Chain A
Amino acid sequence: LAKTTQPISMDSYEGQEVNITCSHNNIATNDYITWYQQFPSQGPRFIIQGYKTKVTNEVASLFIPADRKSSTLSLPRVSLSDTAVYYCLVGDIGDSWGKLQFGAGTQVVVTP
């Protein structure tokens, strides 16, 4: 399993862009990178998934360099409601997702 490392916490102000980088040096060829968001007292919510280069949806962008040893989740113009824990997961999309490990995640705090 690819081990992931991400910062424990990040602070930001409303309206700023937040970038969270996840390291996954031993990512395998068939592994995809997935990010989840978790609010207090709720289950995690799928945000975005990618394999290489850049993926964008209505919530975030995911940047993956050519060597795929890291990835960066970008949250544009954050608001107070983006305060949450963000998890980076790496795993084989064709394999059972049950083998993935969430880790401690990154606590993002957005202030006015």
Chain B
Amino acid sequence: NAGVTQTPKFQVLKTGQSMTLQCAQDMNHNSMYWYRQDPGMGLRLIYYSASEGTTDKGEVPNGYNVSRLNKREFSLRLESAAPSQTSVYFCASSGRQDYGYTFGSGTRLTVV
């Protein structure tokens, strides 16, 4: 069982370029999330999707868009990358709330 799979693992972008981070879970979870983690800091929520067909902004949504393609997949798009978006991005999912989140292994993004 793969859990939460994120692609790519590493990416370097030039300022102004766009890209989509992919996330898929195979645990039949309803809720999915995108976080960013800057060096030495905790995770900050970008967007989340409580269920298929719904998305909501988190703490730091500016500069990002998301798509809940189906129950399994939740993608994060950077339309015009900026150096301030250099970070590690984590996708997570949750089903039964008493089991907490399951996180992916992260995407390390550098914007130059």
Contact = CB atoms under 8 A, between A and B. Distances in A.
A97 B102 CA distance: 12
A93 interface: yes
Contacts of B101: 36, 44, 46, 97
Interface residues of A, number: 22
Q: Please report whether the interface of chain A is mostly helix, strand, loop or mixed according to DSSP.
A: loop
Contacts of A46: 99-102
A98 B58 contact: yes
A87 interface: yes
B103 A93 contact: no
B42 A104 contact: yes
Nearest to B41: A104
Given A87-B42, A98-B45, A43 B50 contact: no
A36 B35 CA distance: 15
Given A42-B106, A43-B106, A98 B50 contact: yes
A96 B100 contact: no
Interface string A84-112: 00010000011011101111110000000
A43 B50 CA distance: 20
Contacts of A103: 42
Contacts of B50: 96, 98
Interface string B86-106: 000010101001111111111
A93 B100 CA distance: 9
A54 to B, nearest CB: 16
A32 B65 CA distance: 30
Contacts of A105: 42
A4 to B, nearest CB: 10
The 7 lowest CB-CB distance pairs between A and B, nearest first, are: A43-B103, A98-B48, A46-B100, A102-B42, A102-B43, A93-B97, A104-B42
